[in-house]
Structure 1
Amino acid sequence: MTSTLTPPRAGRAAPARKPLAIELRRGLGPWTGAAVALTLLVTMYGKAPGWQVHWADATNMLHVAAGLLAGPLALAAGCWQGGRDRRRGTTDLWESAPRPPLRRLLVAVAPSALWPAAGVLLADAVCLLSTWPYVTAGRPYLELVAADTVAVAALGAVGHVVGRTVRWRLTAPLLGIVGYVVLGMGSYQEGTLRWLSPAGEHQFFWDRPVWWFGPVSMAWTAGLALTALLAYGLRGARLWPLTLVPAAVAVAAAGLIAGLPRDGGPWRHDPALARQVCDDGTPQVCLTAVDEGLLPEVSAALAPLNARLKGVPGAPVRWVGGPFGPAHPGDVALPSVGQDAVRGRLPHPDLYLNSAVLWLFSDTCRQGDLAGPNAERASLVNLAVTEWLAPTPEGYGPDTTAAKPYIDRLDAKSPAEQRAYLTRYLAANTCHPDEVPVP
């Protein structure tokens, strides 16, 4: 029997891996993305009670954290990544690859730009999803989240170019420190130039940015990064005038931002967020739409005070919170509920009540007021009335021992006598010690 030998089959060639995929998996890039995400999440977690109430607070906190923390980290990591081939002595090997120099540069810079941006996006997604159950109005400003992501990617790209250009090993950490200082100083500047910084802060949660601010901010930071990349990648080439295109875009974007109004910059009142929402109590309690979910708790916190002031001439007709303040006779401003709220709740209603009483009795005193022989007594009476209406929780506020005799006198009065005294007290000018009635 004869046997036939079959030739071995030719093995299938392994698919060639794309250079971009290889670059994204190697080096410092993945670690940078993880470090950026972890830094932002730890920072945000430590301040969660302050931003998990309003979309504007969450977006603003993410914006500042991305600019001041993720930005310098991306700068330093990009700089170290950019000097990798020079430290390893593989620069000539990399430049011998059969690809145009600019394409090689863009592939090399991808990890320095994309991984920090991915870390920012991950942290933003986690924080915004954790805010969603507690907000009652508005939306997250995703255009600002996108602008933050582009800014961090741009800083990573600029750091990469610096790392390729400067041959000093300490350049990376020093660049990160300088970036932190410059970004921090820029965010605290007065005037509209502060909005050029990726860390410019805004704290009014009933506002919204103008529609074009996010895209123009992206054009500003991306234009700077592309200018640096093209200036490095096209040096000595005939196409170097292309560098002027992103530079012109960046200058135009910077001009638009610098032309913003000095007061408020890109932020405007949003009527849908600032509209008043009131309960049906007497007196009414009115908050803005962004705090509508807190209205029942605020009304309950003010209920003991309203009961004591019921029927007293000069008592509030309406409690009003929000950006516009009292609009009618008898309106009394409320302290900002957003500063006391935690995750959609009012954890210390007694403390909020005490703050409301302080606002009720606050007078704009001029220089020279609260002086004279009866000044100390008037101060103690003012403190006693405040503590009698809304005792300060333990651990907060001043020592009330000296005012205790006046508090005891108020407690000893009959309801009719208490209302009569409150009528005289509300009619007095508490800035003039001689007018403050003694219980």
Structure 2
Amino acid sequence: MTARVLGIELRRSTAAVLGALVAALGAAGLWVLALSRQTGLWDPQWTMLAAYQRIMLVLLWPLALGGGAWQARRERRCGTEELLGTTPTPPWRRALPSAVAMAGCLVLGYLAILAAGAVRVAGKTDYLPGDWLHIAAVGALTLVAAGWLGMGVGRLLPSACTPPVLVVAGFLVLLVPVQLSKSAEPGPASLLVPNLTTDLDEFTTVAGSVSQAQTLWFLGLAGSGLVLLMAARRRTAVTAPLPALLGLVLALPLLGAAPASGLQRDAGAAAEVCTHDGGPTVCVTKVHEQGLAELVGPARRALKLLAKLPAAPTSVHEVTGDRPGPQPTGEAWLHSDTYLPGRGWVTGSQDALVVRILAGAGTRPCEPIAHGPRAIAAAWLYGRYPAPGQDVMPGEEADARTAAWRKLRALPAEEQARRIAAVREAELDCRGDLAEVLTKGTR
């Protein structure tokens, strides 16, 4: 197949139009979220961008499937089906340029979506994980598989109804796992669909075994589409399921060993990046490395205030919600949800960031979160109530918190310090009723 033949195919087939349509719909799916300020679903991290593209395949994959079927009807639409059937050129040679053009345009369309999102992600994080490219590559492969499968089915059933039926059927098939994921634990079968059914956060990625299994499965599915498209006779089309079955057989053991959700923790994103300037250590997660310089000043101010307590912490660490306890006594922990890529530490001011670190006397929030005692501990360490960032609307909770603050301040200074230290001790290992600890000073 020469470049000239491929160029003619690109000009005369619907592949270029389909690729452009995929790119336009995908890019619009990314940027329409900007109108409602929801780009946080995909722009904080490269893995999230690649994963959100995979979520959009619930629409793009059926489109590629139907577009492939439409392309396969070209000879019948032009009235040249019988004429070309009398030529000595084998069917596979006539179909190959069209299949290559379809695959190339779909991949370029998918890459255009990636490029549309990359301009925003690149400015928000310095973390570049290695597996995001694999997640994106699998997504592109699934579109190729859809295009070729649609072409194969379209050649086998060259009816004008085939393309729209495939679009609707493909959408309904992909929609089922999405709905099931809302009410039940997903199983290995849900990982055989091209689209991801759950959102990722900055510290989550698709398990490597899942990406490998999906690669094998969709390679097999693409192979089945090619067999259908290039079969010389309809009788030989019965062999078309074999590549897909082979891919399925190879993929299922990998999916069985993967997490039920198909997701796992991204250890690289959660790895610590720390200061080394001789002052108290301040650490953030790798994915939030851009926020380290902004955190250093408030974190060290918080450590000075925490020094009022016995066995006071000497370092501040940003931690993710799934980091196991107990919390080391020498560390103050700041939850990672305090930082938003592109917006920084979303506390309103540096004073409010200091208070956020002081919450619970420098501890992570336990479940259930005792907001009142944690806020009172932060206010006591800061020196006033409400402390910056603690403004609350009037109500029963605010009244109860104010009453607890006044009772605490009415105690001797040593007793106040003892109770705040007890709050910290209780939160370090998440044991005890925090409200009772603040009231009595014991667990």
* TM-score bracket for this pair, using the shorter chain length: 0.7 to 0.9
Q: 1:119 aligns with which of 72, 91, 109?
A: 109
Show the counterpart of 2:273.
Answer: 277
Cα distance, 1:361 vs structure 2: 7.1
Show the counterpart of 2:137.
Answer: 146
Q: 1:24 aligns with which of 10, 14, 19?
A: 10
Show the counterpart of 1:427.
Answer: 422
On the 8 A contact 1:20/1:107 being kept in 2, the answer is yes
Show the counterpart of 1:193.
Answer: 189
- TM-score, structure 2 as length reference: 0.73
Alignment partners' CA distance in 2, 1:137 and 1:167: 48
SS of match in other structure, 1:287: strand
Show the counterpart of 1:255.
Answer: 252
- Work out whether 1:341 is the aligned partner of 2:331: no
Show the counterpart of 1:38.
Answer: 24
On the 8 A contact 1:193/1:257 being kept in 2, the answer is no
Percent identity, aligned pairs only, is: 22
On the 8 A contact 1:385/1:407 being kept in 2, the answer is no
Within-5 A mapping of 1:124-143: 124-128=114-118, 130-140=120-130, 141-143=132-134
Cα distance, 1:107 vs structure 2: 3.2
- Code of the residue aligned with 1:192 in structure 2: it is P
Q: CA RMSD in A?
A: 4.4
- Code of the residue aligned with 2:11 in structure 1: it is R
Within-5 A mapping of 1:291-310: 291-302=288-299, 305-310=302-307
Structure 1 stretch displaced more, 300-309 or 30-39: 300-309
On the 8 A contact 1:52/1:343 being kept in 2, the answer is no
On the 8 A contact 2:219/2:247 being kept in 1, the answer is yes
**Against the structure 1 CA distance between its residues 85 and 422, is the aligned structure 2 distance closer, same or farther, given a 3 Å change threshold?**
farther
On the 8 A contact 1:37/1:120 being kept in 2, the answer is yes
**Against the structure 1 CA distance between its residues 423 and 166, is the aligned structure 2 distance closer, same or farther, given a 3 Å change threshold?**
farther
Cα distance, 1:152 vs structure 2: 0.6
Show the counterpart of 2:69.
Answer: 79
Structure 1 stretch displaced more, 222-231 or 354-363: 354-363
Show the counterpart of 1:159.
Answer: 150
- 1:218-250 Cα distance to aligned partner (Å, 9 max, x none): 332121122133135326478668646623541
On the 8 A contact 2:75/2:81 being kept in 1, the answer is yes
- Work out whether 1:225 is the aligned partner of 2:222: yes
Show the counterpart of 1:328.
Answer: 328
Alignment partners' CA distance in 2, 1:239 and 1:166: 15
Cα distance, 1:198 vs structure 2: 2.0
**Against the structure 1 CA distance between its residues 73 and 214, is the aligned structure 2 distance closer, same or farther, given a 3 Å change threshold?**
same
Within-5 A mapping of 1:230-245: 230-234=227-231, 236=233, 243=240
Show the counterpart of 2:429.
Answer: none
For structure 2, list consecutive stretches of 5 or more residues without a partner in the other structure: 380-384, 427-431
- 1:92-142 Cα distance to aligned partner (Å, 9 max, x none): 244344421122233344444332221002222343354334333333532
**Against the structure 1 CA distance between its residues 228 and 172, is the aligned structure 2 distance closer, same or farther, given a 3 Å change threshold?**
same
Alignment partners' CA distance in 1, 2:190 and 2:294: 38
- Code of the residue aligned with 1:114 in structure 2: it is G
SS of match in other structure, 2:340: coil
Alignment partners' CA distance in 2, 1:284 and 1:182: 52
**Against the structure 1 CA distance between its residues 175 and 242, is the aligned structure 2 distance closer, same or farther, given a 3 Å change threshold?**
closer
SS of match in other structure, 1:437: helix
**Against the structure 1 CA distance between its residues 231 and 251, is the aligned structure 2 distance closer, same or farther, given a 3 Å change threshold?**
same
**Against the structure 1 CA distance between its residues 283 and 312, is the aligned structure 2 distance closer, same or farther, given a 3 Å change threshold?**
farther
**Against the structure 1 CA distance between its residues 340 and 276, is the aligned structure 2 distance closer, same or farther, given a 3 Å change threshold?**
closer
Structure 1 stretch displaced more, 155-164 or 40-49: 40-49
Q: 1:68 aligns with which of 58, 71, 78?
A: 58
SS of match in other structure, 1:136: coil
Alignment partners' CA distance in 2, 1:409 and 1:191: 48
Cα distance, 1:208 vs structure 2: 6.2
Alignment partners' CA distance in 2, 1:81 and 1:418: 81
**Against the structure 1 CA distance between its residues 178 and 365, is the aligned structure 2 distance closer, same or farther, given a 3 Å change threshold?**
same
SS of match in other structure, 1:334: strand
SS of match in other structure, 1:217: helix
On the 8 A contact 2:149/2:224 being kept in 1, the answer is no
- TM-score, structure 1 as length reference: 0.73
Structure 1 stretch displaced more, 208-217 or 115-124: 208-217
**Against the structure 1 CA distance between its residues 282 and 312, is the aligned structure 2 distance closer, same or farther, given a 3 Å change threshold?**
farther
Structure 1 stretch displaced more, 215-224 or 404-413: 404-413
Alignment partners' CA distance in 2, 1:44 and 1:288: 26
Alignment partners' CA distance in 2, 1:195 and 1:156: 20
- Code of the residue aligned with 1:23 in structure 2: it is E
Alignment partners' CA distance in 2, 1:292 and 1:233: 52
SS of match in other structure, 2:283: strand
Show the counterpart of 1:100.
Answer: 90
